[in-house]
Structure 1
Amino acid sequence: MKKAAFLLYGLISYVIFFATFCYAIGFVSALLVPKHIDSLPQEPLGYAFLVNALLLSIFAVQHSVMARPAFKRWWTKFVPQPIERSTYVLLASLCLILLFWYWQPMGGVIWEAKSASLSLLLQILCLLGFGVVLISTFLINHFDLFGLRQVWFYASGIEYQDLPFRTPFFYKYVRHPLYLGFMIAFWATPLMTAAHLFFAVMTTVYMLTAIRFEENDLVKHFGVKYLEYKKSAPMLIPFTKASQAKEKNEASMITDGEITP
Structure 2
Amino acid sequence: MPCNLVAYLLSRAAIITTCLVFPYWLSFMLNDPLEVGWNTLDTLDTLSDAKCTNFDVFAFSTNNLAFALFVVPHTLMARRRVKEALGITDQPYERPLFAFMSPITFLLSISYWTPVSNCRRFDPAALSLGHVVISGSISVIAALYITAAMVTLPDHIFGTRRYKLGSDEKAEARLITSFPYNLVRHPAGAGFLWLLWSFPSYTVNHITLSIMWTLYVVPATLLLEERSLKGPQGEFGAAYDCYAQEVSAFVPGKSLLRIAR
TM-score category (smaller protein):
0.7 to 0.9
Amino acid at match of 1:21: F
SS in 1 for 2:15: helix
Does 2:143 correspond to 1:130?
Answer: yes
> In structure 2, how many angstroms separate the alpha carbons of the residues matched to 1:232 and 1:121?
31
**Structure 1 residues 56 and 122: CA distance shift in structure 2, 3 A:** farther
**Structure 1 residues 238 and 158: CA distance shift in structure 2, 3 A:** same
Which of 231, 236, 260 is the equivalent residue of 2:245?
Answer: 231
> In structure 2, how many angstroms separate the alpha carbons of the residues matched to 1:224 and 1:194?
43
Which residue of 1 is the match for residue 258 of structure 2? none
> In structure 1, how many angstroms separate the alpha carbons of the residues matched to 2:154 and 2:133?
28
Which residue of 2 is the match for residue 146 of structure 1? 158
Amino acid at match of 1:191: S
**Structure 1 residues 173 and 14: CA distance shift in structure 2, 3 A:** closer
> In structure 2, how many angstroms separate the alpha carbons of the residues matched to 1:60 and 1:232?
29
Which residue of 2 is the match for residue 121 of structure 1? 133
Does 2:88 correspond to 1:87?
Answer: no
Quote how far apart the aligned CAs of 1:237 are: 2.4
Which residue of 2 is the match for residue 67 of structure 1? 78
1:1-261 matches, cutoff 5 A: 2=2, 3-30=4-31, 32=34, 34-40=38-44, 45-75=56-86, 77=87, 81-106=91-116, 107-109=118-120, 116-124=128-136, 125-139=138-152, 141-151=153-163, 153-154=164-165, 159-211=169-221, 212-219=223-230, 220-240=234-254
Which residue of 2 is the match for residue 251 of structure 1? none
Structure holding more helix per residue: 1
CA contact under 8 A between 2:162 and 2:171: conserved in structure 1?
Answer: no
Listed as ranges, the gaps of 5+ residues in structure 2 are 47-51, 256-261
Quote how far apart the aligned CAs of 1:127 are: 4.5
**Structure 1 residues 225 and 186: CA distance shift in structure 2, 3 A:** same
TM-score, with structure 2 as normaliser = 0.76
Amino acid at match of 1:7: Y
Listed as ranges, the gaps of 5+ residues in structure 1 are 242-261
> In structure 1, how many angstroms separate the alpha carbons of the residues matched to 2:155 and 2:40?
28
For the aligned residue pairs, the C-alpha RMSD in angstroms reads: 3.2
**Structure 1 residues 13 and 137: CA distance shift in structure 2, 3 A:** closer
Quote how far apart the aligned CAs of 1:221 are: 0.3
> In structure 2, how many angstroms separate the alpha carbons of the residues matched to 1:208 and 1:86?
24
SS in 2 for 1:27: helix
Quote how far apart the aligned CAs of 1:204 are: 0.5
SS in 2 for 1:81: coil
CA contact under 8 A between 2:185 and 2:249: conserved in structure 1?
Answer: yes
Which residue of 1 is the match for residue 259 of structure 2? none
CA shift digits 1:231-261 (9 cap, x unpaired): 21222223359xxxxxxxxxxxxxxxxxxxx
Count of matched residue positions in the alignment of Structure 1 and Structure 2:
237
